[in-house]
Structure 1
Amino acid sequence: MELRHLRAFVAVAEEKHFGRAADRLHMAQPPLSQQIRRLESELGVELLHRTTRKVELAPAGEVFLERARALLQDAEQAKEDAQRAARGEVGKLAVGFTGSATYALLPALAAALRQQLPGVELDLRGELLTPAQVQGLTEHTLDLALLRPPVKRRDLTIEVVVTEPLVAVLPQHHRLAERTEVPVEELKTEPFVAYPSHFRSVLHDAVEQTCAAHGFKPNVALEVAETATLVSFVAAGIGVSLVPLSVTRFAVVGAVYRPLAGDPTRVELALAYRHDDASPVLARALEIVRHALTTTGV
């Protein structure tokens, strides 16, 4: 059963006239009559009663008209769905965010993706360390990640989008909280709330390298994986820490952020995705995220 035969039948049934139906379909009347006869032959029933003056639906035609309209509507919807899928407007997308970028970027990027891809089912996961995101990408549980390089995987594309300095986060009543800038060496005797070492946190290494460049190894009082928890523990007076500038978007009562004196260490934020992923949804999401990142002010 061909769609063109269904369209021909519906046009004749609705116009009740072969000539008008042929005009509606932009075709000659003889081929239209042939299509109707072929459809009746295929079904083994008479769909139309024809006279020299008019065309009327046979009982079988009345039933078949309703089904034919539904089939044509389903076919048109299937066509539209396929075209939307090819444009990356429908499907699923799982996005991971490193903890230190969750609060600065996730709300803005989630809003942009939901607004521009309303037909895409989004799975947004915050507070993920870089190793967990790399694992998610390689295991196909994530499609896109915002993580901290370096990442040494040949199967992943790493696209640096932001470079930002480390800043100090201090308890509100800390002796250095009144400073406009904090010299890193002034933190030598302070207890640190640090990102975990055993998960190979990129920020853990960046903080250690910063301290080493100023002649000391941080005295780690506590290790935590989640940035929100880290800042909360600092606010509670457990220690101090160094975090990327974007974390300053996360306000916690009792914690203050201060720039580091001199030329502070800078860390990168990158988009990561499988470079053999040809998903149209991913391609559209990358366009949206790249554009949104230019307006976040990170």
Structure 2
Amino acid sequence: MELRHLRAYVAVAEERHFGRAAERLHIAQPPLSQMIRALEGELGVTLLERTTRRVELTTAGTAYLERARSILHTVDDAADEARLVASGSIGRLTLGCVGSVTYSLLPRVARALSELSPGLEISFRGEMLVPDQVAALHAGEIDLALLRTPLSDPDLVVRVLRRDALVAAVPTGHRLAGRRRLEVRDLRDTDLIMHAGRGGSVMFGRVAALCQDAGFTPRVRHEVVETSTLVTLVAAGLGIAVVPEPVTALALAGVRYLPLRGAGRVELAVARARSRTEPHVLQAAAAIVSLAQGPDVMQDLRVPERHLQQPISGRPRRPTVSSRA
């Protein structure tokens, strides 16, 4: 039995006429009659009662029609689903984000992905440190990560999105809060609040290196995981924090953000495990790359792999994102 036999039978049963059914299927009537006879012969039952003017269904034919329709609908639905999966339109995607992305770029990413693929089930894990993101990528717990570099892992495909300036989050009551800008050396002999360093936080390492280059060892009063907690502790007057500029989206009372001269920039990148090549993962990564390059570049996202092949090297193109992220 073949699907074409089922389709032939459903057409004849619904039209109650071999000629009309043959026209509907775009085939000649003799082959259609042969398929129906072959189907009845394989089943060992009579499905249709034929007269010179009309075709009637037997009791067995009526029951078989409902089952045949159900089978064909299931087959068609499976084909449609396969096409949607192949196009990246459906699937499940989990995105892990560092803290500065959680409060700035993430809402735009969520909206863009939802508009691009309404059938995609998207979940997010915010406030993740880079080591935790890398581990989650390898374990398959997240599909994509928005993280800070440097990152050296041959099993990950990484694309730098942009470079964010570093700023100082200063309690409004601090002696340095009245400055227009700070230099790294101004942080000597001040209490610092930093992202947890024991887990290998990229920001902890970057800030510690800046202090060492300025000739002093940072005086770390608190280490925290969540960026929101870090800024909250600054607002409480417990110390100064060095953070990526997008963190200024967390405008808490008691915190003033000041430019930090000589601190340079930190890269934001999207990463996936090299083995993850499902269409919806590649397409989502391409959408994120386009979004970071500007709001008018969300086009031609069906060939995403080209966006993900570039290694971390050289100076990335400065993005044209108008809002902080």
Query: TM-score, normalized by length of structure 1?
Result: 0.95
2:264 is matched with 265
Deviates more, 1:167-176 or 1:178-187: 178-187
Aligned equivalents of 2:54 and 2:193: distance in 1?
88
Q: Is the 8 A contact 1:235 1:253 kept in 2?
A: yes
C-alpha distance in 2 between matches for 1:214 and 1:246: 24
Cα deviation, residue 198, structure 1 = 0.8
Equivalent in the alignment of 2:278: 279
Separation (CA, whole Å) in 1 of partners of 2:183 and 2:286? 39
In the alignment, what sits opposite 1:117? 117
- Asked whether 1:244 is paired with 2:238, we answer no
Aligned with 1:260: secondary structure?
strand
Corresponding letter in the other structure for 2:131: P
Alignment correspondent of 1:103: 103
Q: Which runs of 5+ in 1 are unaligned?
A: none
Q: Look up the match of 1:84.
A: 84
**Amino acid paired to 1:234:** V
SS at match of 1:194: strand
- CA deviation string 1:235-262 (max 9, x = no partner): 000000100111111222211211113x
- Residue in 2 aligned with 1:291? 290
What aligned pairs does 1:1-298 form with structure 2 within 5 A after superposition?
1-261=1-261, 263-295=262-294, 296-297=321-322, 298=325
- Give the C-alpha shift of residue 183 in structure 1: 2.3
- Whether contact under 8 Å (1:210, 1:265) holds in the other structure is no
**Residues 155-204 of structure 1: per-residue CA shift (max 9 Å, x gap):** 11121111111100011222322322122222212111111221111101
Higher mean alpha-carbon deviation, 70-79 vs 31-40, is at 70-79
Give the whole-Å Cα distance in 1 for the aligned partners of 2:273 and 2:187.
40
Instruction: Write the letter of the residue equivalent to 1:287.
Output: A
Whichever residue aligns with residue 248 of structure 1, its letter is T
Q: Secondary structure at the match of 1:14?
A: helix
Q: Alpha-carbon deviation of 1:275? A: 1.6
Structure-2-length-normalised TM-score: 0.88
4+ aligned runs moved over 4 Å, structure 1:
none
Amino acid at match of 1:268: E
Gaps of 5+ in 2: 295-320
Q: What is the CA–CA distance in structure 2 between the aligned matches of 1:101 and 1:84, rounded to whole Å?
A: 29
2:35 partner SS: helix
Task: State the Cα deviation string for residues 84-139 of structure 1 (Å, max 9, x = none).
Answer: 01111122112111123221121111121222222222221011111111111111
In 2, the alpha carbon distance for the partners of 1:256 and 1:23 equals 76
Q: What amino acid does structure 2 have at the position aligned with 1:207? A: V
Specify the SS of the correspondent of 1:77. Answer: helix
Q: Secondary structure at the match of 1:199?
A: coil
Q: Is the 8 A contact 1:206 1:265 kept in 2?
A: no
Kindly tell me the number of residue pairs found equivalent between the two proteins. 297
CA distance in 2, matches of 1:273, 1:39: 50
Distance across 2 between alignment mates of 1:254 and 1:246: 18
* Further displaced range: 148-157 or 26-35: 148-157
